[in-house]
Amino acid sequence: MSLTPEEQIRYSRQMMLSEIGEEGQERLKKSSILCIGTGGLGSPALLYLAAAGIGKIGLMDPDLVEASNLHRQILHDTDRVGTPKQASAAERLHAINPEIEIITLPGKFTAENSLSLLKDYDALLDGSDNFPTRFAANDAAFFLKKPLIHGAIFQFEGQVTVFAPHLDGPCYRCLLPEPPPEGAVPT
């Protein structure tokens, strides 16, 4: 899968990096990621993934864009208030990079559907805001032997990590074996 002349121009600056080059850019073009959440965590990550040329991006977010989201969910704008977040995200990402494939997936990422949703992607980006989804994401990535990029934020603190137990690293359950009781952790 070679790069088109337009892609050669679009990605020329990052291909100048010896760690990427044309071969690395072609690998990005062939790669795919499923992103759970297009809000405060997913927004900036998705903007950069699309701009970098990740070939296929799957979006899951059952929520609607709300005015109270706009100060931190930079993927969305005022004109999109009231629209589904994943549709808003897909439109913005295609505007940034029309060369990539964006797939919107309905519903929520759950323990019941996680394996079938993730199987067609190379990696999983968890930008969710609840423990059931985080644990479903971990378990699916663990069983399918795919990397899980996990982010979390609380007030002015943020965390990001990559779990890759298939490469002999820990998983999310290694750090937190069971979800905390409901209400025990601030939202």
Per-residue pLDDT tens digits of the chain, which is 187 residues long: 799 999 999 999 999 999 999 999 999 999 999 999 999 899 999 999 999 999 999 999 999 999 999 999 999 999 999 999 999 999 999 999 999 999 999 899 999 999 999 999 999 999 998 889 999 999 999 999 999 999 888 888 888 999 999 999 999 989 888 888 777 776 6
- Which residue bears the tokens 């996990």? 150
Rg (CA), the chain: 17
What is the separation of C-alpha 130 from the centre of its chain, rounded to a whole number of angstroms? 15
User: DSSP for 56-90?
Assistant: EEEEE--PBP-GGGTTT-TT--GGGTTSBHHHHHH
Beta bridge mates, 36: 60, 126
Q: Is the pTM of this model over 0.85?
A: yes
Domains of the chain: 29-175 (3.40.50.720)
